[in-house]
Structure 1
Amino acid sequence: MLEIDTLTWVVTVGLILVLLAVDLVLAAVRPHKVGFAEATAWSVFYILVAVGFGVWMWTAHGSEFGTEYFAGYIVEKSLSVDNLFVFVIIMTTFAVPEEHQHKVLTFGIVLALVMRAIFIAVGATLLSLFSFMFLLFGLLLIFTAVQLFRHRNEDPDVENNAVVRTARRLLPLSTEYQGGRLFTRENGRRVGTPLLIVLVAIGGIDLLFALDSIPAVFGVTEEPFIVFAANAFALLGLRALFFLVKGLLDRLVYLSAGLAVILGFIGVKLILHWAHVDLSPDVPEIPTPLSLGVIIAILVVVTVASLLKTRRDPAAKAHPGSLRARRPNHEEDGGAR
């Protein structure tokens, strides 16, 4: 078991908060279109920070926990790329001006960190109290993998998201963006701007991704500190990565299928762990180094296959995948109800 003292927790959380504060200051004080060079520099910086933390984990706590951290980080980083797909769809659907995309992304990352911290605390508690939670988490991941693979060529229906529909019903909204404000006044009354709905949509998506990503990372490590750190460092680079790769995301045509395979693999790993603990020690487990190798291999194959596919067929376009079939709207189904 990994023993982490209070000081290490405080320093780690403090580092993450400092990096978040930098993002918030940049988004609020200097809203601007992020160029390729700036996005590249920040992406490299966040990757180096994450790798540096992993090296410290390896040297301070041993190769086993270091391997678990890197495996968890790679899982969360790959899932965060799929998260980027959905962010792009939300930005496009609601026509978010480029100068405000920085703010929306930072909000999404902060909210994702908060939600995942809550889920990590709850998940760690449940796993420590009830070993059958490994079985439930494993089944959840396998179900998610099947649904994602079935709908791998679809986009999530952002407009029909339950959270967005509820916000539209409850809140009076304007039709125009009012700078970076969430609320404005029209005809003497306070109304929300489209930016408010964008943030609501981001929040709903963050909740769904937290439900998937936390069981996934618990599949490679049971240590709450590693789970938190892997999630935090994977998410911190999301803003810069968005501006760096948003023009390349359409080329990763097999990413959703690859993520489905990874989630299914981790689901099987969790179920085997439960069976090993609760049923019989003779049930084999999948070691973390093997998990890390399988995950990296899947991502490499998916990336190479995607680039070859789009090179042969430039019209091919990637989709983030969905956990359910997209509901046809009034225009798509010719007015049918």
Structure 2
Amino acid sequence: MEVNALTWVITVAVLLGFIVFDFVSHVRSPHEPSMKEAAGWMVFYVLLACAFGGFLWFTWGGPEGNHQHGIEFLAGYITELSLSVDNLFIFALIIGSFKVPRAYQQKVLLIGIALALLFRGIFIGLGAAAINAASWVFYIFGVFLLYTAVKLIVDEIRGVEETEVDDMLVVRTVRKAVPVSSNFDRDRLFTRVNGRKMVTPLMICLVSIGFIDLMFAFDSIPAIFGLTQEPYIVFTANAFALMGLRQMYFLLDGLLDRLVFLPYGLGAILGFIGVKLTLHAMHENSVPFLNGGESMHVPEVSTVFSLVFIVVTLVLTTIASVIKTKRDEAQGAVAPKWNRAKHIHDDASAN
């Protein structure tokens, strides 16, 4: 398999086709999806991602003719999908803040996810260009992920309060820049009030979701670059994770607070990939004041081990969360909400 311009064009066209199909078949007629519908489409997108990973496995060998790229895609996809779970918590906060009716939430999520895919594509291109220009960028990615992992876990232990959505800079800025109607006009993004064209709260909500997801990309994109340096794999893993996000939102709605140990699992994954990136940076070292600009003899973590670590960590944190939640319910306690919202939005809520 050769990743050339035609490959990129076909891939983007197919992804856009799925988004259009989703809009025509599910979103154009506003309705609240049932659990059966959400589960069915979630399974469909997961199987689609697995099929794509299998395609890469058989058609795109690694540097030694192995199945490296297929493994890299699966590891990246699972990582992005797990990091997307906490996106859902923030999406729920935003949608709840704007009081979007359930029947219109699919449209908000789909268009917001389409915007997120566009922004992430740009961010991935910039990240790949930076890596190609200088290998020391891996040091920055590695240190940033380690900081993110530590802060995520520390904030969770301390129980840092979540930032209110109305206080987020992106939300306040959009509301100041354009006239916003006070009420929804069905599922329309624009409306007229007394002859004046205005955007509806639905439009502000989906724009907020798109931009907030971009903030999540500042740790999820470096994380997947720690598993593969192939921009095509980075982009497609993100795309497949985002495509199933709308169905996952309705499938897990009301269950997110039960995953009480998820932030610790995500912190462990981000920290692990941060270490992996740092070791890779040391192996590819070109920084003059470190070892004279020469490569350092350090162990490198294989992609297979990374995949196993990620899967095992997610399984253990999920099982532990279920056990603790059931125990708390038996004792009449309320499971605490976790606070990654605060971690992500410290900068977004700055005055």
Q: Same fold (TM over 0.5)?
A: yes
Cα shift readout 1:91-139 (whole Å, capped 9, x = no counterpart): 1122110111000110121011101110111111110111110001111
CA distance in 2, matches of 1:201, 1:29: 21
Question: Equivalent residue for 2:327?
Answer: 312
Cα shift readout 1:14-59 (whole Å, capped 9, x = no counterpart): 2212111111223542111100111111011101100000111111
Whether contact under 8 Å (2:113, 2:210) holds in the other structure is no
Q: Of 65, 69, 86, which residue of structure 2 is paired with 1:65?
A: 69
Q: Of 238, 242, 253, which residue of structure 2 is paired with 1:231?
A: 238
Q: Note the C-alpha offset of 1:3.
A: 4.0
Q: Note the C-alpha offset of 1:210.
A: 1.6
Whether contact under 8 Å (1:250, 1:317) holds in the other structure is yes
CA distance in 2, matches of 1:215, 1:325: 18
- Aligned residue for 1:184, secondary structure, equals strand
- Aligned residue for 1:4, secondary structure, equals coil
Matched letter for residue 208 of structure 1? M
Whether contact under 8 Å (1:86, 1:320) holds in the other structure is no
| Distance change (3 Å), C-alpha of 1:170 and 1:249 | same
- Aligned residue for 2:165, secondary structure, equals coil
Q: Of 268, 274, 278, which residue of structure 2 is paired with 1:267?
A: 274
| Distance change (3 Å), C-alpha of 1:184 and 1:13 | closer
CA distance in 2, matches of 1:196, 1:40: 27
Whether contact under 8 Å (2:128, 2:229) holds in the other structure is yes
| Distance change (3 Å), C-alpha of 1:325 and 1:242 | closer
| Distance change (3 Å), C-alpha of 1:313 and 1:325 | farther
Q: Note the C-alpha offset of 1:156.
A: 4.2
Whether contact under 8 Å (1:255, 1:320) holds in the other structure is no
Q: Percent identity?
A: 50
Matched letter for residue 128 of structure 1? N
Matched letter for residue 61 of structure 1? W
Q: Is 2:281 the counterpart of 1:277?
A: no
- Aligned residue for 1:159, secondary structure, equals helix
Q: Which is further off, 37-46 or 317-326?
A: 317-326
Q: Note the C-alpha offset of 1:326.
A: 7.2
Q: Which is further off, 228-237 or 138-147?
A: 138-147
Whether contact under 8 Å (1:85, 1:319) holds in the other structure is no
| Distance change (3 Å), C-alpha of 1:29 and 1:69 | same
Cα shift readout 1:179-211 (whole Å, capped 9, x = no counterpart): 112232334433332212212321221110121
| Matched ranges for 1:22-171 at <5 A | 22-62=21-61, 63-152=67-156, 153=159, 154-171=161-178
Question: Equivalent residue for 2:64?
Answer: none
CA distance in 2, matches of 1:115, 1:192: 22
Whether contact under 8 Å (2:216, 2:344) holds in the other structure is no
Q: How many residues align?
A: 327
| Distance change (3 Å), C-alpha of 1:85 and 1:248 | same
Gaps of 5+ in 2: 62-66, 286-293
Whether contact under 8 Å (1:157, 1:326) holds in the other structure is no
| Matched ranges for 1:291-302 at <5 A | 291-302=306-317
Q: Please, what TM-score do these two structures have when normalized by structure 1?
A: 0.91
Q: Note the C-alpha offset of 1:13.
A: 2.1
| Distance change (3 Å), C-alpha of 1:134 and 1:20 | same
CA distance in 1, matches of 2:192, 2:345: 38
Matched letter for residue 59 of structure 2? A
Matched letter for residue 323 of structure 2? L
Question: Equivalent residue for 1:332?
Answer: none
Q: Note the C-alpha offset of 1:270.
A: 0.7
CA distance in 2, matches of 1:90, 1:230: 25
Q: Please, what TM-score do these two structures have when normalized by structure 2?
A: 0.88
Q: Note the C-alpha offset of 1:324.
A: 6.3
CA distance in 1, matches of 2:124, 2:32: 34
Whether contact under 8 Å (1:174, 1:193) holds in the other structure is yes
Q: CA RMSD in A?
A: 2.0
Cα shift readout 1:272-326 (whole Å, capped 9, x = no counterpart): 1001111434111111111111111110111001111110113104435132687
Q: Which is further off, 189-198 or 247-256?
A: 189-198
Question: Equivalent residue for 2:262?
Answer: 255
Whether contact under 8 Å (2:151, 2:343) holds in the other structure is yes
Matched letter for residue 187 of structure 2? G
Cα shift readout 1:141-168 (whole Å, capped 9, x = no counterpart): 1222222222235534321111111122
Cα shift readout 1:251-271 (whole Å, capped 9, x = no counterpart): 111112211111111111111
Matched letter for residue 240 of structure 2? F
CA distance in 2, matches of 1:320, 1:183: 34
CA distance in 2, matches of 1:218, 1:267: 10
Cα shift readout 1:64-111 (whole Å, capped 9, x = no counterpart): 111111100000000111111111111112211011100011012101
